[in-house]
Amino acid sequence: MRYRVVSEALEHDGRASIHFALLVCVMGVYGGQVCPVVESFPLWLWGLHLLVLLCVCRGLRMASSRWVFTRVGLQRQVGVQLVVDLCLFALAGYGIGVHNMVRYGADMESTLRLGTGFLIMGFFIGADLALTQDRLLALRRGGNPLAVAVPLLTVPQKFTLVTVISLFSVMVILYFVISFDLNWLMTVGIDNLAMARRAVLVEIGFIILILAAYTANLIITYAKNLRLFVSEETRTLTDVAQGNLDTRVPVAFNDEFGIIAGYTNRMIEGLKEQNATMELLRDVIINSMATLAETRDNETGAHLRRTQHYVRLLAEELAESHGLDGPLIDLFYKTAPLHDIGKVGVPDAILLKPGPLTEAEFEIMKKHTTYGEEAIARAAEQMGEDAAFLIHAGEIASAHHEKWDGSGYPRGLSGKAIPLSARLMALADVYDALRSERVYKKALSHEEAKMFLMDQGGSHFDPDVVAAFLRCEAAFIRVAERFRDEVETAS
């Protein structure tokens, strides 16, 4: 975007310089066709007059542009600059006409012809530069929309205005040139009529060509603005469809396209607010379900916080190799506390037993994985499409006790058949259990837990997950210290 802004700024400045350079050529020819005094000048003298005049005008325009773009509000900048340009060209045209009257004795009619020619060219040049500035303003604003100014100038009104002014310009300029040529033809002898006829036709053709070229240039410049709007609108809607609600359509065009862009941005704002509400609702649901499980278990709330941070650390380490993006990692993090939600279905006598479980009790305890999966599935069914986030919660709840070699439960899944979210949770849960002190066991140190995990890599745990753990073990230690159990002793 920055490259485009710089390119457009250079284009705008370059276009202004090119316009002024071309104007020296165009008015050099036009002046000689409508003003007898100018026609009597040596070509270099009239060219020098125009060059000096337009260099002064170019400098004044640069100064006025700086003033407009620093002192005038964004909504009015382009319109004010166009008015300034028209005044500048009118002042230049009528000024040089008065100069010719005072110094060389030109008549009033010639002064009016010169001034009107400059004013007409000023409209075409000013309108082109205004459209270019419109485009530059849209690029500069980027994701910061500009409100559409009032009153609105509609697209049909713009085309009508350009068409009327173009036709009026052709008629006025042709009238000036033809009236001057008719006076000239009256002084031409019969022997030179053929040559005079060719000269008049060439002059008329030249005038029509110049005005047609400037009109076409305005249409092309406006088309570029429309192409920019369509491309930005398409880009923005594509970003929104892909889940990016921070994008916006630049609004700098004071017409129907500006209104469309404005409503598009309002729609995105509404979607963003709705999405924020849904995310809040999602978090409330997850936290409520996790809290419910916590009230039935002898695990602490700190266990839930630690394990969800462990899951995030592992996911971030595997993001590049396993194609995990930010939103998915965030879902893993937020749904991790639901891994033991199924324990609400386990009898208290087993769930809260202070010592080791019997084989029969352990079989009942293992059912918490399927209980959790079924509970989350029912919740997802009730919520419909809005419960997509519960997919990972269900995977974690059902499969976090599966083992890489297939010896886990409840389904005996192995390898990559185990969902990645559950593989992450498996290591996080075991690491936290090893590091936590309970009435029936003492806590292991980080190094002891680390050795256990390394020993179980490839059998209990995914080797890639163990490798990720080793890369971020310092962060694991910091999480364990930050969310320490109140009853936990230093290792």
Q: Show the DSSP H helices in 147-296 as ranges.
A: 155-185, 193-241, 256-296
256 and 301 part of one domain: no
d(CA 72, CA 69): 6
The pLDDT assigned to 489 comes to: 41
Show pLDDT as tens, one digit a residue, over the chain (491 residues).
443 433 444 455 678 888 888 888 888 888 877 777 888 888 888 888 888 988 888 888 888 888 887 887 776 778 888 888 889 999 998 898 898 888 888 888 888 888 888 888 888 898 888 888 877 777 766 545 445 454 556 777 777 877 787 788 778 877 777 777 666 666 655 666 666 677 777 777 888 888 888 888 888 988 888 888 888 888 888 988 888 888 888 766 666 777 788 788 888 888 888 888 777 777 777 777 777 666 666 565 788 889 999 999 999 999 999 999 988 999 899 889 889 888 888 888 888 887 788 889 999 999 999 998 998 888 878 776 666 678 888 999 999 999 999 999 999 999 999 999 999 999 999 999 999 887 667 889 999 999 999 999 999 999 999 999 999 999 999 999 998 876 444 33
- How is 359-408 classified by DSSP, letter by letter? HHHHHHHHTHHHHHHHHHHHHHHHHGGGGTTHHHHHHHHHHTT--TTS--
Instruction: Assess if residue 283 is contained within a domain.
Output: no
246 plus 314 within the same structural domain: no
Q: What is the pLDDT of residue 406?
A: 95
Claim to verify: residue 408 and residue 455 sit in the same structural domain = yes
Angle, in degrees to the nearest 10, between helices 301-322 and 473-482: 160
> Residue 420's Cα: distance from chain center in Å?
33
Residue 47, in any domain of the structure? yes
Query: What are the structure tokens assigned to 19, written together?
Result: 């316009």
Q: Specify the pLDDT at position 412.
A: 94
Calpha distance 289→294 (Å, rounded): 9
- Using alpha carbons only, what angle is made at residue 28 by residues 25 and 33, rounded to the nearest 5 degrees? 130
Quick one: 64 and 138 in the same domain?
yes
Element (H, E) at 471: helix 463-471
Instruction: Tell me: do 246 and 306 sit in the same domain.
Output: no
Q: Considering the domain boundaries, does residue 31 fall inside one?
A: yes
- Number of C-beta neighbours around residue 365 at 10 A: 19
> Domain of 370?
297-482
Q: Which helix (H) or strand (E) holds 339?
A: none
Total domain count, the chain? 2
pLDDT value of residue 376:
86
Euclidean distance between CA atoms 392 and 382, whole angstroms: 16
- The answer to whether residue 155 is domain-embedded is yes
In a domain, 288, yes or no: no
Out of 205, 233, 260, a domain closes at: 260
26 plus 151 within the same structural domain: yes
Tell the burial category of 373 from Cβ atoms under 10 Å away from its Cβ (0-12, 13-18, 19+): buried
Q: Are residues 198 and 131 in the same domain?
A: yes
**Alpha carbon 47 to chain centroid, angstroms:** 48
Same domain as 324, residue 415: yes
Residues 245 and 303 in one domain: no
The answer to whether the beta carbons of residues 25 and 209 sit under 8 Å apart is no
- The confidence score (pLDDT) of residue 352 equals 81
206 within a domain of the structure (yes/no) = yes
The verdict on 341 and 220 lying in the same domain is no
Taking the alpha carbons of 88, 89, 94, 98 in that order, is the dihedral positive or negative? Answer: positive
The residue among 233, 260, 287 that closes a domain is 260
**Is 205 inside any structural domain?**
yes
Q: What is the CATH number of the domain that holds 364?
A: 1.10.3210.10
- What pLDDT, on a 0 to 100 scale, did the predictor assign at position 297? 62
Q: Is the domain of 230 the same as that of 307?
A: no
Co-location of 357 and 301 in the same domain: yes
285 domain residue, yes or no: no
Q: What are phi and psi for residue 250, nearest 5 degrees?
A: -60, 130
How would DSSP label each residue in 185-205? Answer: HTTS-GGGHHHHHHHHHHHHH
